[in-house]
Structure 1
Amino acid sequence: MTAATTASATSSVARHLRTLLPGRADLAPVRTSWRRDLLAGVTVAVVALPLALGFGISSGMGAAAGLVTAVVAGVVAAVLGGSHVQVSGPTGAMAVILAPIVAAHGTAGVVTISVMAGIVLVLAGLARLGRIVVYIPWPVIEGFTAGIAAIIFLQQVPLALDVTVTGGERPLAAALDAVGQAGLAQSGTALGVTVGVILVIELCRRLPGNVAGALVAVGLATGAAQVLHLDISRIGALPTSLPAPSLGVVDPATLAGLAGPALSVAALAAIESLLSARVAAGMAPTGRPLPDRELVGQGMASIASGVFGGMPATGAIARTAVNVRAGAQSRLAAVVHALCLALVVLVGAGLASLIPLAALAGVLIATAFRMVNVREATTLLRLGRGPALTFLVTIVCTVALDLITAVEVGIVLAGFFALRRMASTSRVEREALPGPACPGDEHISLLRLDGSLFFGAADRVLDEIADSRAWVVILRLSQVNLLDSTGAHRLMELMTQLEARGITVLIKGIRPEHHDTALRAGVLGALRHQAHLFEELPPAVEHARDHVRRELAHRPTTVDRAL
């Protein structure tokens, strides 16, 4: 490596590192938008409070962990993340993936996983992996989201019925177990609170203005439970201050066993945060998000959350959308949201401890319903068997298996259907020779290959050529859009077989981007002579006709006219 190359690489790394750090540009919008940002931050905090408590409980970490995560991770991600208007904190998807981890490793294990996953995200940002989200197909994203919504709903069934179930059960099994244990008196009261909260939230959604339906519903449910002395489960004691940072719970001996869950958490955090940032960019004219910086910011947020005893955090699409609709233009709004929640910890923990768990179940069930975009789901089901099956299989895998497996299966399935569709467009077309007909033209086969010549289509396409009985075969490759190593290798084998049978193969129009692949796979070497490679069709046809004329001169009485 030359000195110039080394210097260029060093400069590129330095530029990349600068894009990952906060700068003056982050503060530029604040000068003109601080009033709107303050209002937006308060609005988001009102929406985020019941969600933070609910997702903390759903994860198994407890309401306090959800609140701590919203405060600590919310500030860190707002300052270090790659979006001006992203709001981060505990989310339904993360609660879903954490529930079995809490059952298996306890809350201390999740704290360690939060730090480990954060480190993975930071390294992913440094490695420029922020654009991975563009490789996730739309049916997978929608199926993933709908599956999460289904799990969130199932997780709330025990809370809505005020029933305790065995930890670590699959959401569907736990929901069925809760239904089996439900009693009319206790469960009926709790279920009434849940349904009431859902109805109030839906009513507030229909009112003009940005009414915080979740907070109103939870407030009414808490007040009613106190006044009527309802015997239902409550959140219980919450901390009146943020816990001191500590890494004392990290046990080095457990790190190897937690590596798998940490990678799953990191993958989910990356996918959800990058998707949320992309959605935010489409909603607000605040500039494109920086995906690598977003990974670093979310990684640092999860590390900080774990140090304070919280859970891993991600960008939250619903809260980010509220932030944008409330007029946020800068990172100040997300910071204010976190500070407002910190104020709740300091002065409102006693009141928050009285919230019925059934009320939070209602908030999360209403959230789950809104997560499913019925219009887009209907569109997917109408697009054809491939998108519909990918969407439905992703939902089933999300509910029955786990989120990361669901994404992997969905991507593989979407890729299979995409390749099959691509293969179906690949074909061989027999063409007439240009110009006036000449004696012997019946011994020339002009074949145009269309579409993609890759591993999914090479055998089917090239088998249509293998039985040719012409004396000369002209292969037009200018319409081949994709030529992979398998397609090139099969083309080389076909040419070798034809030449071995005495059939001359001419190639016309290999695209420049395919030349290296064809050369390395031996396609060009399989030609009888390098003069059999042509850029234009007329010279190739003329060469074929010369060849046939010479053949006719040598064997004028024995002519096989079968093509």
Structure 2
Amino acid sequence: MTPFEFKPQLVATLKNYNRKQFITDLMAGIIVGIVALPLAIAFGIASGVTPEKGIITAIVAGLIVSLFGGSKVQIGGPTGAFIVIIYGIIQQYGIEGLTIATIMAGILLIIFGLLHLGTIIKYIPYPIVIGFTSGIAVTIFTTQIKDLLGLSIANVPADFSSKWIAYIQNIGTITPWNAAIGIASVIVIAISPKFSKKIPGSLIAIIIMTISALLLRQYAGITSITTIGDHFAISNKLPEATIPALSFNIIKSLISPAIVIAVLGAIESLLSATVADGVIGSRHNSNTELIAQGLANLASPIFGGIPATGAIARTMTNINNGGRSPIAGIIHSGVLLLIFLFLMPFAKYIPMACLAGVLVIVSYGMCGWRSFIGIMHNPKSDIIVLWVTFLLTIFFDLTIAIEVGLVCACLLFMRRVTEATDVKIITDEIDPSEEESDFMLGNLEHLAIPKGVEVYEINGPYFFGAGNSFEEIMATFGDRPKVRIIRMRKVPFVDSTGIHNLTNLCMMSKKEGIQVILSGVNENVMKTLEHARLESIIGKDNICSHINEALERSKEIK
């Protein structure tokens, strides 16, 4: 892929598009649009914005992701993973701050795509992904307890521990009818797949509970059931495009949340696209997908929306109902637009406890407890990264969790690489059975190491750890040698730190009157060493192609 290559799947799909596929995409798009409705409303409210902002995000972002995306079946929109981030940004920076941070994240996502980072992002360590998604799930569940049970708490604390303390202290304020609506919603959504594969359980629950709440209010005089209309003024008016005022200080203060939105959006969208590929037997273009996600996050806040990404649940719904082209995603956006324009005022009758029930099920689906338990059987380093990310997500915030999780993963990765590179000492003879091409040029039986010569062999990449190993191993020798042979036939590459350590080793040996000879250096490593001018320190004649030559050279030096 060239630096500015941009290949939306829609262009390729339309070349061989036909009426039969359109009918299938039409049905899939309608169903996905209906599925997206309750989720968009729930995600909007849980994020701390109005319900219509959730739907606007699904309309705008869903349309752009389908028009310009690198996946045939990806459905874009608001997702549960962003709830915690959005809520935190609004609390600290306000709605305008969220708008600016989302626009900045959109720009970052476009840059990610142009720099071909799509493949790299997909390889973010799995324990980190599970750690913060599980942490987000627990956090979402925690934020819904008040509405689920109808607790009378004026101001719910922001942090995790204080929330649960407040819930326990106010457990006596449960509103029975709200609790009944919330728990019944969870049960309906959980059992609905056994009766209906096409109609989503969340929509069934919303319809049943909304009608029940209206009937109870009308005929039983029960007015304690809290609805969306009690908290929000619902509007079906399309917002005008507005671009917020930007300044260097504002951009500087919002760079951290913008990076988190961009990274999380990239991970979730590419994960969703990868899962979809496995189901439909296709292959998405990850860099084009990132550019499309960036465009979606540029447009969504301008029209009053919130951050968006690829939604796995809606994408799978699209696939399961026959969607095989971006046309289905475009239709899904059109369906949501019609619902927004003509049915949005009726959303005020939806019980808040029902939406809380929807998000409880969403959090259960996100938690990935099976994967969490599975990682507990992995190496300790994976377990550490998992728990650190998980606990930081819950008790602090996702920004810190991702940053610290990535740092931990990098440090543990470096430790593993360092441990994988070892330095072996060969004292008396070189075992012919362990050799390959080196001995094809010499005598297999008589490769004794001359007196006054030390032979070391590096196995693995030459990182900083190898230099430290040299120092530790050399300290074990009593007598100072005249020649040190360093075999590098199993060194695939050397980094700048490795070069620095090797150079220091050669210079230190030279001061002590010890000649260093390199043996079996491959072509790539040789180019790196030449660029570092190592020849000027040890001499060109002391860089040998194989061990036979190195041993002969050591005899000449002695």
Amino acid of the structure 2 residue aligned with 1:453: Y
Q: Which residue is 1:234 aligned to? A: 227
Between the aligned partners of 1:185 and 1:269, the Cα distance in structure 2 is 36
Q: Which residue is 1:525 aligned to? A: 536
Q: CA deviation at 1:71?
A: 1.6
Contact 1:427 1:461 in 2 (8 A): no
Whether 1:484 and 2:484 are equivalent positions in the alignment is no
Distance 1:89 1:167, change over 3 A: farther
Whether 1:278 and 2:280 are equivalent positions in the alignment is no
Contact 2:494 2:525 in 1 (8 A): yes
Q: Which residue is 1:221 aligned to? A: 209
Distance 1:112 1:414, change over 3 A: closer
Q: Which residue is 1:448 aligned to? A: 457
Q: CA deviation at 1:380?
A: 1.1
Q: Which residue is 2:49 aligned to? A: 61
Q: Which residue is 1:301 aligned to? A: 296
Q: Which residue is 1:399 aligned to? A: 394
Q: CA deviation at 1:414?
A: 1.4
Whether 1:105 and 2:90 are equivalent positions in the alignment is no
Between the aligned partners of 1:284 and 1:292, the Cα distance in structure 2 is 20
The aligned runs of 1:122-521 (5 Å cut-off) are 122-162=110-150, 163-166=152-155, 169-186=158-175, 188-207=176-195, 209-229=197-217, 230=222, 231-236=224-229, 239=234, 241-247=236-242, 250-252=244-246, 255-256=250-251, 257-285=253-281, 287-431=282-426, 432-433=429-430, 435=444, 441-465=450-474, 468=477, 469-521=480-532
Distance 1:66 1:178, change over 3 A: farther
Q: CA deviation at 1:354?
A: 0.9
Q: Helix, strand or coil for the counterpart of 1:525?
A: helix
Whether 1:535 and 2:529 are equivalent positions in the alignment is no
Contact 2:486 2:519 in 1 (8 A): yes
Amino acid of the structure 1 residue aligned with 2:422: R
Q: CA deviation at 1:55?
A: 0.5
Instruction: Give deviations 1:271-295, integer Å, cap 9, x for gaps.
Output: 322222222222222x322223222
Q: Helix, strand or coil for the counterpart of 1:105?
A: helix
Between the aligned partners of 2:316 and 2:194, the Cα distance in structure 1 is 17
Q: Which residue is 2:436 aligned to? A: none
Instruction: Give deviations 1:29-66, integer Å, cap 9, x for gaps.
Output: 45542222122222222322111111000111121111
Distance 1:262 1:503, change over 3 A: closer
Between the aligned partners of 1:117 and 1:547, the Cα distance in structure 2 is 62
Contact 2:234 2:347 in 1 (8 A): no
Distance 1:130 1:452, change over 3 A: closer
Distance 1:426 1:255, change over 3 A: closer
My pick for the range that moved more, 61-70 or 200-209, is: 200-209
Q: Helix, strand or coil for the counterpart of 2:455?
A: strand
Between the aligned partners of 1:123 and 1:415, the Cα distance in structure 2 is 23
Amino acid of the structure 2 residue aligned with 1:276: S
Distance 1:25 1:429, change over 3 A: same
Q: Which residue is 2:554 aligned to? A: 544
Q: Helix, strand or coil for the counterpart of 1:281?
A: helix
Distance 1:438 1:358, change over 3 A: closer
Distance 1:506 1:365, change over 3 A: same
Structure 1 residues without counterparts, runs of 5 or longer: 1-10, 549-563
My pick for the range that moved more, 136-145 or 235-244, is: 235-244
My pick for the range that moved more, 51-60 or 234-243, is: 234-243
Q: CA deviation at 1:369?
A: 0.7
Q: CA deviation at 1:26?
A: 4.7
Q: CA deviation at 1:210?
A: 3.8
Whether 1:118 and 2:106 are equivalent positions in the alignment is yes
Distance 1:172 1:288, change over 3 A: farther
Q: CA deviation at 1:521?
A: 3.9
Between the aligned partners of 1:380 and 1:474, the Cα distance in structure 2 is 43
Amino acid of the structure 2 residue aligned with 1:308: F
My pick for the range that moved more, 342-351 or 56-65, is: 342-351
Q: Which residue is 1:552 aligned to? A: none
Between the aligned partners of 2:72 and 2:483, the Cα distance in structure 1 is 64
My pick for the range that moved more, 516-525 or 350-359, is: 516-525
Instruction: Give deviations 1:503-524, integer Å, cap 9, x for gaps.
Output: 3322111121112332344533
Distance 1:440 1:341, change over 3 A: closer
Instruction: Give deviations 1:371-415, integer Å, cap 9, x for gaps.
Output: 122332222110110111111111112222322332221122112
Between the aligned partners of 2:15 and 2:242, the Cα distance in structure 1 is 32
Pairwise CA RMSD of aligned residues? Answer: 2.8
Between the aligned partners of 1:141 and 1:377, the Cα distance in structure 2 is 10
Contact 1:440 1:545 in 2 (8 A): no
Equivalenced residues, count: 532
Amino acid of the structure 2 residue aligned with 1:44: V
Between the aligned partners of 1:309 and 1:357, the Cα distance in structure 2 is 22
Distance 1:422 1:436, change over 3 A: same
Instruction: Give deviations 1:284-319, integer Å, cap 9, x for gaps.
Output: 22x322223222322222233223222121111221
Query: TM-score under structure 2 normalisation?
Result: 0.87
Between the aligned partners of 2:506 and 2:122, the Cα distance in structure 1 is 38
Contact 1:124 1:130 in 2 (8 A): yes
Q: CA deviation at 1:338?
A: 1.8
Amino acid of the structure 1 residue aligned with 2:548: P
Distance 1:30 1:164, change over 3 A: farther
Between the aligned partners of 1:355 and 1:314, the Cα distance in structure 2 is 26
Contact 2:80 2:362 in 1 (8 A): no
Q: Which residue is 1:553 aligned to? A: none
Query: TM-score under structure 1 normalisation?
Result: 0.86
Percent identical residues: 32
